[in-house]
């Protein structure tokens, strides 16, 4: 099996094969002796050589996190044979989605469609657990679309508005 | 003794009280709102009654509905926990009128302590030391200016009915007084329906130390030692410990005796806490009395070997305190971490959601008082406290070592928590040296974290990512869809990640 893996934005190529219960592993062309047990869903007991690691996996609104011990890594795994998952948005060019960072309720919209916004300008106020959080525009642009209404319940990752 | 107790609360404290009931052979009645049907306190209860919509005013704050459940279930007492109705004198009185015992102080004692200005007037009579300032609300800007000039800047404006930092303003100079006074008044009006604001001299970098008291209904009042609660954010406590590293036996006795006088001046019964500000010269000033069980009561339990909830129940049942002041011994050291559902990458804003994975620490000297479980969705409607992790040791060093070890084992997936914040606090040189004050956390969080990503660990993460994908595929095949690993390769990449990454770099 061949994987393209990005760890905190850095790319690795990983080749894994399992024969008779033993793994062979090449990472960026280097061989590693590994042994892995899925202790329970989302928890991997991993040995690299004789060093032991407990790795936890966590799906989050904007992707996947792996925790090696107490260190968190943002992870993308791609199977290079698949063409999916190759689309990337331009960073500061083009439309940007403004998403709710947590589940909650939209208590106030601070802009209207067509408004010009500066980076850091508040777009909406989302309330969760008695706290109000102002969600800000990441870039300069025009509010192209507002996808929620005041009073709406939102989940983490839901798109609130698009700034073009 | 009571046969059945209704617990008018939710979350970890409802579970804590429920456990005490079961230890004492008392049936526990839970109440729950629409979003709490699957909550832990409901799962563990002997009886559970729905009391309405998620909004606290429709459920946990609704006196009528709770008393109705008390009547229907035949409960002979109500434990209010903390928050919600715990310091509501009307509720305490309504319980008396309904013939059900309220486990806490009387309505009259609560009222005496509920308003900070009225408490202050009563305490001045009892000879309790105060931060210089007014004992009643200021009427006008002119009066405020006069008082501020007398006690000296900086001063603190505080809402008489306040709590949790609402209606509080720090004023450094006369020019700021007018706008701060207006802001504090309107915030107090909005938050508590009472715009009364009073002035105190602001103590610079104070410690926040509180004394636990316990009083039975036969005139006996004791103090159970102090808790150091200086580590706060937004005026909310984050970490507490007992005993305080700066309080010696003599200071403990003096603070304890003042606390007992405070309680006696209000004819206080049951468990209560007298809060003090302590300045750098170790002078202590009465701040307020909390007329309930505190969130941080476990640290006192560990160092006194007393169970405060058992004692609350026994006192409410009319028993005498089973020990005297001279029997109270402080032994060892305990530290509590309040584990909140909040996002450290987003200024510690609340982060409710589904807990996909929960690995809890155990082992010597570790106690967890929690209200959560794996698979449960933390609702957005309430306080974000998930659990309290408490470490105990023979001394402060051992308590820190055990807690550090336990925090390393602790993992909650699917939601953001502040677990990593505690690892950082416990590593901090100032914390280890017990140089604590209420500004400690804000100062620490302003410094960048020295946490260089280590390329070797990143390689381990890359290998693990592939193995999760490979094992997930195998497991899915073997178990016909009951996948336990991660089908990571099937997940379409999203733009959210790049958005959030560039957000983080702003």
Residue A87, pLDDT score: 40
Residue A103, pLDDT score: 81
pLDDT digits (tens, 9 = 90+) for B25-78: 999 999 999 999 999 999 999 999 999 999 999 999 999 999 999 999 999 999
For residues B15 and A15, give the distance between their C-alpha atoms in angstroms, rounded to a whole number: 48
For residues A23 and A35, give the distance between their C-alpha atoms in angstroms, rounded to a whole number: 6
- What's the pLDDT band for B118 if we cut at 50, 70, 90? confident
Closest-CA residue in chain A for B408?
A70
Taking a C-beta distance cutoff of 8 angstroms, is the pair B351, B379 a contact?
Answer: no
pLDDT digits (tens, 9 = 90+) for A34-47: 999 999 999 999 99
- The first and second tokens of residue B449, run together, are 């974290």
Q: B258-297 burial string, b = 16+ CB within 10 Å, else e?
A: bbbbbbebbebbbbbbbbbbbbeeeebbbbbbbbbbbbbb
CB contact under 8 A, A102 and B382: no
Greatest Cα pair distance in chain A: 62
Taking a C-beta distance cutoff of 8 angstroms, is the pair B434, B230 a contact?
Answer: no
For residue B360, the chain A residues in CB contact (below 8 A) are none
Return the CATH architecture of domain A96-163: Beta Barrel (2.40)
**What residue has token string 């497991």?**
B475
pLDDT digits (tens, 9 = 90+) for B452-485: 668 899 999 999 999 999 887 555 444 433 333 3
Burial of residue A7 (CB within 10 Å: 0-12, 13-18, 19+) is buried
CB contact under 8 A, A129 and B496: no
For residues B497 and B506, give the distance between their C-alpha atoms in angstroms, rounded to a whole number: 14
Nearest by CB to residue B462, choosing from A12, A42, A138, is: A12
Phi/psi of residue B161, nearest 5 degrees: -95, 15
Closest-CA residue in chain B for A28?
B459
Percentage of chain B with pLDDT > 90? Answer: 74
Residue A122, pLDDT score: 87
Residue B476, pLDDT score: 45
Q: Give the dihedral of Cα atoms B355, B357, B363, B368; nearest 10 deg.
A: 0
pLDDT digits (tens, 9 = 90+) for B361-406: 999 999 999 999 999 999 999 999 999 999 999 999 999 999 999 9
Domains and CATH numbers, chain B: 4-103 (3.40.50.20), 132-201 (3.30.1490.20), 210-446 (3.30.470.20), 458-505 (no CATH)
Residue B489, pLDDT score: 39
Average pLDDT of the residues in B179-197? 87
Nearest by CB to residue B469, choosing from A3, A69, A73, is: A3
CATH of domain A2-78: 3.30.700.30
Which helix (H) or strand (E) segment holds residue A44: the answer is strand A43-48
Greatest Cα pair distance in chain B: 79
Instruction: Indicate the SS3 state at residue B345.
Output: helix
- What's the pLDDT band for B433 if we cut at 50, 70, 90? very high
Q: Does A96-163 match A2-78 at the fold level? A: no
Residue of B449 and B108 predicted with greater confidence: B108
Q: How far is the alpha carbon of B453 from chain A, nearest alpha carbon, in Å?
A: 8
Residue A129, pLDDT score: 76
Q: Please, which residues bridge with residue B367 across strands? A: B390
- The first and second tokens of residue A46, run together, are 């991993």
Ramachandran assignment for B385, one of left (phi > 0), alpha (psi -120 to 50 degrees), beta (any other):
beta
Residue of B166 and B430 predicted with greater confidence: B430
Q: How far is the alpha carbon of B98 from chain A, nearest alpha carbon, in Å?
A: 32
Tell whether B493 lies on the interface with A, counting CB pairs under 8 A: yes
Tell whether B324 lies on the interface with A, counting CB pairs under 8 A: no
* Active-site choice (B169, B227, B292, B314): B292
Q: B418-429 burial string, b = 16+ CB within 10 Å, else e?
A: bbbbbbbbbebe
pLDDT over threshold 80, residue B91: yes
Taking a C-beta distance cutoff of 8 angstroms, is the pair B334, B299 a contact?
Answer: yes
- The first and second tokens of residue A130, run together, are 């008695």
Determine the straight-line distance between the first and last CA of chain B, rounded to whole angstroms. Answer: 61
Chain B residues 219-258 with CB within 8 Å of chain A? none
Q: In what order do the strands lie in the sheet with B47-50?
A: B47-50, B27-32, B4-7, B77-79, B101-102
CA-to-CA dists, residue B58 to A127, B32, B61, B64, angstroms: 19, 11, 7, 10
- pTM equals 0.81
For residues B246 and B241, give the distance between their C-alpha atoms in angstroms, rounded to a whole number: 11
pLDDT digits (tens, 9 = 90+) for A145-154: 899 989 888 8
pLDDT digits (tens, 9 = 90+) for A58-96: 988 778 999 999 999 999 998 776 544 444 433 445 778
- What's the pLDDT band for B488 if we cut at 50, 70, 90? very low
pLDDT over threshold 90, residue A7: yes
**What residue has token string 């339990």?**
B301
Residue A118, pLDDT score: 85
For residue B460, the chain A residues in CB contact (below 8 A) are 46, 48, 53, 55, 68
For residue B495, the chain A residues in CB contact (below 8 A) are 87-89, 97
Q: HSE (CB half, 13 Å, CA atoms) of B453?
A: 14
pLDDT digits (tens, 9 = 90+) for B297-343: 999 999 999 999 999 999 999 999 999 999 999 999 999 999 999 99
Query: Catalytic residue at B72?
Result: no
Q: How far is the alpha carbon of A109 from chain B, nearest alpha carbon, in Å?
A: 19
Residue B164, pLDDT score: 64
CB contact under 8 A, A66 and B468: yes
- What's the pLDDT band for B490 if we cut at 50, 70, 90? very low
pLDDT over threshold 60, residue B492: no
Residue B477, pLDDT score: 41
Taking a C-beta distance cutoff of 8 angstroms, is the pair B205, B436 a contact?
Answer: no
pLDDT digits (tens, 9 = 90+) for B232-287: 998 889 999 999 999 999 999 999 999 999 999 999 999 999 999 999 889 999 98
**What residue has token string 């679309």?**
A145
For residues A42 and B87, give the distance between their C-alpha atoms in angstroms, rounded to a whole number: 42
Residue B449, pLDDT score: 81
- The first and second tokens of residue B459, run together, are 């390689």
For chain A, what are the domain ranges? 2-78, 96-163
Residue A91, pLDDT score: 42
Taking a C-beta distance cutoff of 8 angstroms, is the pair B192, B218 a contact?
Answer: no
Phi/psi of residue B455, nearest 5 degrees: -70, -30
Enumerate residues 6+ apart whose C-beta is below 8 A from B290.
B87, B210, B272, B273, B275
Residue B163, pLDDT score: 66
CB contact under 8 A, B351 and A156: yes
Residue A81, pLDDT score: 64
**What residue has token string 């992790």?**
B389
């Amino acid at each position: 099996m061949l994987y393209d893996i990005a760890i905190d934005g850095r790319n690795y190529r990983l080749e894994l094969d399992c024969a008779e219960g033993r793994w062979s592993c090449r990472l960026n062309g280097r061989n590693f002796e590994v042994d892995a047990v899925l202790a329970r869903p989302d928890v991997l007991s991993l040995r690299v050589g004789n060093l032991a690691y407990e790795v936890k996996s966590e799906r989050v609104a904007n992707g996947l996190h792996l925790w090696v011990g107490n260190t968190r890594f943002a992870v993308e795994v791609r199977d290079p044979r698949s063409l999916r998952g190759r689309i990337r948005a331009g960073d500061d060019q083009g439309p940007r989605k403004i998403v709710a960072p947590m589940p909650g309720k939209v208590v106030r919209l601070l802009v209207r469609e067509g408004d010009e916004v500066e980076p850091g300008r508040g777009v909406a106020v989302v309330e969760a657990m008695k706290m109000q959080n102002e969600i800000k525009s990441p870039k300069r642009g025009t509010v192209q679309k507002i996808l929620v209404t005041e009073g709406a319940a939102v989940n983490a990752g839901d798109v609130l508005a698009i700034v073009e | 003794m009571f046969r059945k107790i209704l617990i008018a609360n939710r979350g970890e404290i409802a579970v804590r009280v429920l456990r005490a009931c079961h230890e004492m052979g008392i049936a526990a009645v839970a109440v729950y709102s629409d979003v709490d049907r699957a909550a832990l306190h409901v799962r563990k209860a002997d009886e559970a009654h729905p009391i309405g919509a998620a909004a606290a005013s429709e459920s946990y704050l609704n006196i009528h509905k709770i008393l109705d459940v008390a009547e229907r279930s035949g409960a002979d007492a109500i434990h209010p926990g903390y928050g919600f109705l715990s310091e509501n004198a009307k509720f305490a009185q309504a319980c008396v009128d309904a013939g059900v015992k309220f486990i806490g102080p009387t309505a009259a004692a609560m009222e005496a302590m509920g308003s900070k200005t009225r408490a202050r007037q009563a305490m001045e009579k009892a000879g309790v030391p105060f931060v210089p300032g007014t004992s009643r609300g200021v009427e006008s800007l002119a009066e405020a200016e006069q008082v501020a000039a007398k006690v000296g800047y900086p001063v603190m404006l505080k809402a008489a009915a306040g709590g949790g930092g609402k209606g509080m303003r720090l004023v450094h100079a006369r020019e700021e007084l007018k706008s701060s006074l207006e802001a504090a008044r309107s915030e107090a009006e909005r938050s508590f329906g009472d715009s009364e604001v009073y002035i105190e001299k602001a103590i610079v970098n104070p410690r926040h130390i509180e004394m636990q008291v316990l009083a039975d209904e036969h005139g006996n009042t004791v103090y159970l030692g102090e808790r150091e609660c200086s580590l706060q954010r937004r005026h909310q406590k984050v970490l507490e410990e007992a005993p305080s590293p700066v309080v010696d036996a003599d200071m403990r006795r003096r603070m304890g005796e003042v606390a007992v006088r405070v309680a006696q001046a209000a004819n206080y019964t049951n468990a209560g806490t007298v809060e003090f500000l302590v300045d750098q010269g170790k002078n202590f000033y009465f701040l307020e009395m909390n007329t309930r069980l505190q969130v941080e009561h476990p640290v006192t339990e560990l160092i006194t070997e007393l169970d405060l909830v058992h004692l609350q129940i026994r006192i409410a049942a009319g028993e005498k305190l089973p020990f005297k002041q001279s029997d109270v011994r402080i032994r060892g050291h305990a530290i509590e971490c309040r584990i909140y559902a909040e996002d450290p990458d987003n200024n510690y804003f609340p982060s409710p959601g589904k807990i996909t994975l929960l690995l809890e620490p155990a082992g010597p000297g570790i106690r967890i008082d929690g209200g959560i479980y794996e698979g449960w969705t933390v609702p957005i409607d309430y306080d974000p406290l998930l659990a309290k992790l408490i470490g105990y040791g023979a001394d402060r060093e051992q308590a820190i070592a055990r807690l550090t070890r336990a925090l390393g084992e602790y993992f909650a997936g699917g939601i953001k928590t502040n677990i990593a914040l505690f690892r950082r606090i416990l590593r901090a040189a100032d914390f280890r040296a017990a140089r604590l004050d209420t500004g400690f956390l804000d100062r620490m969080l302003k410094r960048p974290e020295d946490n260089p990503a280590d390329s070797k660990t990143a390689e381990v993460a890359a290998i693990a990512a592939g193995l999760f994908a490979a094992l997930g595929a195998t497991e899915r095949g073997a178990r016909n869809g009951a996948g336990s690993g991660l089908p990571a390769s099937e997940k379409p990449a999203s733009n959210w990640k790049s958005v959030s990454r560039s957000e983080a770099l702003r």
